[in-house]
């Protein structure tokens, strides 16, 4: 009996070594830019890390008619894509970069970027799991697939560079891409066939399906945030079709190259940042706080909180006084009408240094001001802008006796924000020209627009 028990233990020991050896061999090739899977193995290797193919289900790749089938969601998400299921049509939609693959359960017809293609083995539901032909999908997404028949192993060669979000520039680039997804959804809106009663126009093309559009945003946003972002852009479902409100009238705040990003929390798997968002119509500025968390191999925006909101403010029964004007076509009011075709042009002989414009209300009430926005020069045309002087430096004075100096960029048609760094309560704002950019033809200094703004913090 003792001898048999010893033989049994030795056999178990040998089998353990064989299993361990097999696992080490399976994982060895995952250290480069490869994804490695194996028939009847419920785990895969991605960038040297082991993951479940079908988390919590234990499903393994199988072979059907010489084709490898498996649940493909985790694999697609590891590549940075998304997969969605349309119940009514029994349809699977795979999105990755510029590729869209549509497949139907039990059908051998598929579409790749709307082009019909045939497959040998159709998607199937086996033991309650949706099994997809691996090679067909991966190769149509642009990745080469290798088959090792001896070890029944599949190797996908990818240029796999997981996003680390290690610094502000990486976070900013990530947020720019996330913000840009919403504009992808509204590129193809059929305004000619809008529903006048409902005030809705259908979205056509790749994102005509609401579920497909939602899955696309979920590449970067948690689902409830993705829905809010779609609503914010006037996108609504009607059945499974996506529609755009034709006249929502909202000014939208977007992340741009000029947006400033600051870290509040910078952990390996969680980033919390503040980010500036500019109005897409008038350049007003809001500041939001974003929480970005690592989910599997992807980063997902899990929370957006409003920190501050900018609004334009005006003096009650606002009036303007100036030190001089060039003539009746260049009066002070043209600096505050925000029409680039008009401008205040000072009329003093010389370059205009020392000339000023004062803006106030008729009543004695105080205006709470956080800064001014200015359109420099005579912005009616590029020729007029260059021909006349532009403001380079100004002194800004307030009724409480305080003042500050601000630099102004030499930039045509670019509203410029001059923030005060605090809220100032004042009866007037006086702007005096200290330095100028010289014009090529005239010495007159011009300002095409001045507005005040107030920043409300939450």
Q: What is the pLDDT of residue 184?
A: 87
How far is Cα 17 from Cα 23, in angstroms, rounded to an integer? 10
Using DSSP, state whether 105 is helix, strand or coil: coil
pLDDT at position 28: 45
User: Does the pLDDT value for residue 29 go beyond 80?
Assistant: no
Give the confidence band of 187 by pLDDT, cuts at 50, 70, 90: confident
Q: Which residues pair with 70 in a beta bridge?
A: 132
Tokens of 344: 């205040």
Residue whose entry in the numeric block shows the structure tokens 């010389």:
350
**pLDDT confidence of 14, banded at 50, 70, 90?**
very low
* 188 in Cβ contact with 204 (< 8 Å): yes
104 vs 10, higher pLDDT: 104
Dihedral angle sign, alpha carbons of residues 169, 99, 85, 214? positive
pLDDT number for residue 198: 86
Q: Please return the burial class of 358, using the count of CB atoms within 10 Å of its CB with bins 0-12, 13-18 and 19+.
A: middle
Domains of the chain by range and CATH? 18-157 (3.30.457.10), 168-309 (3.10.450.420), 318-457 (2.60.120.260)
Tell me what the pLDDT averaged over the chain comes to: 88
Predicted pLDDT of residue 249: 52
Mean pLDDT of all residues in 319-340: 94
- Identify the pLDDT of residue 297: 65
């Amino acid at each position: 009996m003792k001898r048999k028990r010893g033989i049994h233990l030795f056999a178990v020991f040998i089998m353990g070594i064989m299993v361990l050896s097999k696992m080490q061999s399976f994982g060895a090739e995952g250290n480069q830019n490869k994804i490695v899977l194996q028939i009847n193995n419920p785990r895969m290797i991605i960038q040297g890390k082991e993951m479940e193919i079908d988390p919590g289900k234990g499903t393994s790749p199988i072979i059907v008619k010489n084709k490898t089938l498996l649940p493909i969601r985790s694999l697609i998400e590891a590549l940075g894509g998304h997969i969605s299921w349309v119940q009514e049509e029994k349809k699977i939609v795979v999105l990755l970069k510029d590729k869209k693959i549509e497949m139907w359960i039990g059908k051998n017809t598929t579409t790749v970027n709307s082009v019909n293609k045939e497959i040998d083995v159709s998607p199937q539901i086996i033991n309650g799991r949706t099994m997809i032909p691996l090679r067909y999908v991966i190769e149509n997404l642009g990745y080469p697939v290798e088959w090792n028949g001896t070890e029944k192993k599949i190797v996908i060669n990818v240029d796999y560079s997981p996003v680390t979000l290690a610094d502000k520039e990486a976070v900013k680039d990530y947020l720019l891409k996330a913000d840009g997804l919403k504009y992808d959804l509204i590129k193809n809106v059929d305004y000619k066939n809008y529903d006048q009663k409902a005030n809705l126009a259908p979205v056509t093309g790749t994102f005509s399906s609401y579920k497909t559009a939602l899955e696309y945003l979920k590449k970067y946003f948690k689902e409830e945030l993705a829905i809010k972002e779609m609503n914010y852009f006037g996108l609504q479902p009607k059945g499974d079709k996506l529609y755009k409100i034709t006249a929502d009238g909202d000014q939208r705040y977007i992340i741009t190259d000029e947006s400033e990003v600051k870290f509040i929390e910078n952990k390996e798997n969680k980033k919390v940042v503040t980010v500036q968002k500019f109005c897409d119509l008038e350049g007003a500025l809001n500041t939001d706080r974003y929480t970005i968390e690592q989910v599997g191999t992807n980063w997902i925006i899990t929370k957006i909180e409003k920190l501050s909101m900018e609004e334009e403010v005006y003096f009650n029964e606002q009036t303007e006084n100036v030190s001089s004007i060039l003539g009746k076509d260049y009066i002070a009011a043209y600096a505050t009408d925000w029409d680039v075709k008009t401008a205040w042009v000072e009329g003093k002989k010389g370059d205009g240094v020392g000339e000023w414009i004062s803006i106030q209300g008729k009543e004695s009430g105080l205006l709470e001001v956080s800064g001014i926005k200015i359109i420099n020069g005579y912005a009616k045309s590029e020729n007029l802008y260059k021909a006349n002087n532009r403001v380079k430096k100004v002194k800004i004075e307030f009724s409480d006796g305080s003042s500050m100096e601000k630099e102004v960029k030499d930039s045509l048609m670019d509203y410029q924000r001059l923030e005060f760094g605090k809220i100032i309560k004042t009866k007037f704002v006086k702007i005096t020209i200290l330095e100028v950019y010289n014009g090529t033809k005239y010495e007159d200094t011009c300002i095409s627009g001045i507005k005040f703004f107030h920043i409300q913090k939450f």
